[in-house]
Amino acid sequence: ALLAGCGGQIGQNNAPAQSGSGTAPSNKNLELVVGVKNEPFYTSMQCGAEAAAKQAGYTLNTQAPDEFDPTMQGPIVTALGAKKPAALLIAPTDDKTMAPQMKQIKDMGVKIIEVDTALQDTSVAASSISSDNTQGGQLAAQTMAKLNNGKTGSVLVLDTKPGTSTTAARAKGFEEELKKVAPNLKSIGIQFTDNEPAVAAQKVTAAVSSTPDLIGVFATNLNSGEGAATGLRSAGKVGQVQLIGFDASPSEVEGLRSGAFQALIAQDPATIGKAGVEQAVAAIEGKPTQRNISAPLIALTKQDMDTKSEFFYKTKC
């Protein structure tokens, strides 16, 4: 399955902007394997990556599993063995179980660049580009504390799936920071949504009924945030239970405007994609690479969102 929206016809390679020079590598094909199809975070990443590939005279093809699931992403990576791109840019959907497939491709001479999520094993990728997700969680806690005005109550944290490096760091960063900046707010713990909005909605409605003093929800990504907003709507708690989301999908941005979210921690996926391509090209061309690159994050509120609209995610390039 391929992402919709970017680079002309779905699933087609982009034409390179220029042909290679005499010393350029003969294989200038890059492959991007994102976490899940039709998702604005990855579409925005793909847009940034495609523009950078075109600029560098490389082709970039993008593939995506139907679900954020290593059993679906793994075979896509394994099949690249027949295609042998010069580099694989990948957002691994599990920090452990995606390692064998990625190592197998690496052993064929394909450069590996991690974009967004990463493996625990840091020896596989030449470079990893992501938001500072711990800092993103901390920012969410600080924002919740600030908006909460010293009230006392309970807070629910929604993570996606165990083994997702990014959302795990956000949840941990949030919980640790909340203890420091808002001792009056107590986390009732981290619950997993399987990266399904419907599960997130159900966890929120359940928490609303089981926890009468529920005062806030931190949703660590787009799907959990969209689902949490649905849950608060069906429980009639919009605006009463504070919702801090992560990412800035069109639906989340709309939810921020309408008051379903009080803040969003937005990433810069296009910059992650662009830096991923730049690192891939450096690795292919034998130039120095940077092992870890951090991309910007920003808190959006209803008051300031329109001055920061460059952070809103895209559904097409």
What residues line the site for ligand T6T (CB under 6 A)?
35, 39, 41, 116-117, 164, 166-167, 221-223, 246-247, 267
Nearer to ligand T6T, 185 or 293 (CB): 293
- The answer to whether 74 touches 298, Cβ cutoff 8 Å, is no
Taking each helix axis as running N to C, give the angle between helix 40-56 and helix 269-284, from 0 to 180 degrees, rounded to the nearest 10. Answer: 40
Nearer to ligand T6T, 116 or 282 (CB): 116
| Beta partners for residue 130, in sequence order | 294
| Three-point CA angle 13, 26, 269, nearest 5° | 45
Residues 89 and 166: their CA atoms lie apart, in Å, by 16
| Helix (H) / strand (E) containing 229 | helix 222-234
- The answer to whether 166 touches 119, Cβ cutoff 8 Å, is no
Amino acid at position 294, single letter: S
Provide, rounded to whole angstroms, the least separation between the CB of residue 255 and ligand T6T. Answer: 14
Provide, rounded to whole angstroms, the least separation between the CB of residue 109 and ligand T6T. Answer: 27
Strand segments, DSSP code E, in the chain are: 29-33, 59-63, 87-90, 111-115, 127-131, 153-159, 185-192, 214-219, 242-246, 263-266, 292-295, 298-300
Provide, rounded to whole angstroms, the least separation between the CB of residue 157 and ligand T6T. Answer: 14
Taking each helix axis as running N to C, give the angle between helix 99-106 and helix 70-79, from 0 to 180 degrees, rounded to the nearest 10. Answer: 10
Provide, rounded to whole angstroms, the least separation between the CB of residue 34 and ligand T6T. Answer: 8
Nearer to ligand T6T, 121 or 213 (CB): 121
**DSSP line for 88-130:** EEE--SSTTTTHHHHHHHHTTT-EEEEESS--S-TTS-SEEEE
Provide, rounded to whole angstroms, the least separation between the CB of residue 184 and ligand T6T. Answer: 28
Provide, rounded to whole angstroms, the least separation between the CB of residue 246 and ligand T6T. Answer: 6
Provide, rounded to whole angstroms, the least separation between the CB of residue 102 and ligand T6T. Answer: 16
Nearer to ligand T6T, 67 or 285 (CB): 67
Nearer to ligand T6T, 58 or 174 (CB): 174
Nearer to ligand T6T, 111 or 170 (CB): 170
Nearer to ligand T6T, 31 or 39 (CB): 39
Nearer to ligand T6T, 164 or 289 (CB): 164
Look-up of token digits 């600029």: 55
Provide, rounded to whole angstroms, the least separation between the CB of residue 175 and ligand T6T. Answer: 18
Burial (CB < 10 A; 0-12, 13-18, 19+), residue 163, is: middle
Q: How far is CA 284 from the centre of its chain?
A: 25
Provide, rounded to whole angstroms, the least separation between the CB of residue 51 and ligand T6T. Answer: 19
Nearer to ligand T6T, 164 or 187 (CB): 164
Q: How far is CA 215 from the centre of its chain?
A: 26
Burial (CB < 10 A; 0-12, 13-18, 19+), residue 301, is: middle
